[in-house]
Amino acid sequence: MSNDNEKQIARFLRDELTESGFQTNLQSITSTYSIPGKPGHRSFTRPNVIARFGGKNGPKLILNGHVDTVSGVNMKRPFEPRVKGDRLYGRGSSDMKGGIAAIVAAAEAMHHSPSAIKGELVLSLVVDEETLGYGTRGFLGQESGDFAVVAEPTENTLGLAQAGYLDFDISCSGESRHGMSTLPNNWASAYLQSADICNRIVDDLALLKTRRVNGMLMETTFNAAPVEPISRPSMAWMTVEDFRLNCLLGLIPGSSVETSEKNAEAALRRVKQHVAQANRRGLRAKITRTDWDIGFTQRSNGYVRRFENAMRKVLGHTRCSYVSSFCDATHFYRANIPTILFGPGKMSQGHSSDEYVSIRQVKDATSVLAYAIENILS
């Protein structure tokens, strides 16, 4: 999504919430990135939308969602929403405009409700979740709270845990040869070198594992993709001399920030060991870039139980879930704010070529969030 489109969304949300009686402001967030294949860094200034009502005589509840999306290049008409039956299609519908819609509708319903609010409700509608989380981190640089709900798509289940990640590049160097004179274990092909290392990561049961916590199955994930530009076309009749692969290893969270950080550091050491062992077998590989962050786990507390009461009233269940992708919930966790995930849509639909959200789930999520606001702040 372009910077101008985000500004249009921010102005729309600000005007909508201001008209409904919220105190609103646009918070400027500056993000700095390196652009693959280009020297230096680029900076972008983008707006968070912050809206609030209520008083200081009680807890502060934060409802968080992100307005940015990934690219729509793999979709037909990605930014032309269309409804088919119960499904609203379009880029960002599941991840996470459905959650944004539920947050705004629930907050407006409670603002116009006769129920007395003793605490403060804050809507944190942020940018940059799909990259480095500058939006939520900028918000938390100025605010804190007692409980946060991040409306990522959980199919309206109670998300009590979220994966962390390791993001790293493996760079391999081969040599120029005719493809039919090359044996895999001669390692002339940089492609084959990177594939060998990935296979060893996938086969490492200390890295790719599963764990069951409170009835939730948590598992490690792994994905890899070539980094553009590739030095020459992919042709089986010739070897590729240099090749770089971007790898994403999902991490199971620990029981605390400290435990999660230790687990992430241990996983990175193990990946580096695989690269070192590969080089001892004749490969020429190295890790050229690493980034990582932890997931979160949320134990039950009074706020969680009140949210469960709202789910039970509207949905008739309190099913829990583990979100196997990274999102802004971790930033609240690091700020010592109890946090859960709850929202309409499927995480697997986010970033997909046929992304959609269930309209019924958006309506149900709106009702759950409205009852939760009342339970927590009344």
Buried b (16+ CB within 10 A) or exposed e, 44-62: eebbbbbbbbbeeeebbbb
Q: What is the pLDDT of residue 378?
A: 82
pLDDT tens, 331-342? 999 999 999 999
Would you state the CATH architecture of domain 3-34+46-162+295-377?
A: 3-Layer(aba) Sandwich (3.40)
Q: How confident is the model at residue 349 (pLDDT cuts 50, 70, 90)?
A: confident
Q: Identify the CATH assignment for 164-293 out of 3.40.50.10490, 3.40.50.1360, 3.40.50.1110, 3.30.70.360.
A: 3.30.70.360
Domains 3-34+46-162+295-377 and 164-293 belong to one CATH topology? no
Q: Which two tokens stand for residue 162?
A: 């979220």
pLDDT tens, 32-90? 766 655 666 778 788 999 999 998 889 999 999 999 888 888 788 888 899 999 999 99
DSSP 263-326: HHHHHHHHHHHHHHHHHHTT--EEEEEEEEE--EE----HHHHHHHHHHHHHHS---EEEE-S-
At position 339, the amino acid (one-letter code) is T
The per-residue pLDDT of the chain, averaged, comes to 90
In the chain, domain spans: 3-34+46-162+295-377, 164-293
Q: Which two tokens stand for residue 290?
A: 């690493």
Q: Is the peptide bond before 96 cis (omega within 30 degrees of 0)?
A: yes
Q: What are the residues whose beta carbons fall under 8 Å from the beta carbon of 267, sequence distance 6 or more?
A: 166, 207, 249, 251
DSSP-derived pairing of the beta strands 222-226 and 87-89: unpaired
Q: What is the mean pLDDT of residues 183-199?
A: 89
Checking if the pLDDT of 187 tops 80, the result is yes
SS3 at position 354: coil
Rounded to 10 degrees, what is the CA torsion of 176, 178, 181, 184? 50
Residue 108: Cβ-neighbour burial (10 angstroms; 0-12, 13-18, 19+): buried
pLDDT tens, 268-325? 999 999 999 999 999 999 998 889 999 999 988 999 999 999 999 999 999 999 998 8
pTM of the model: 0.89
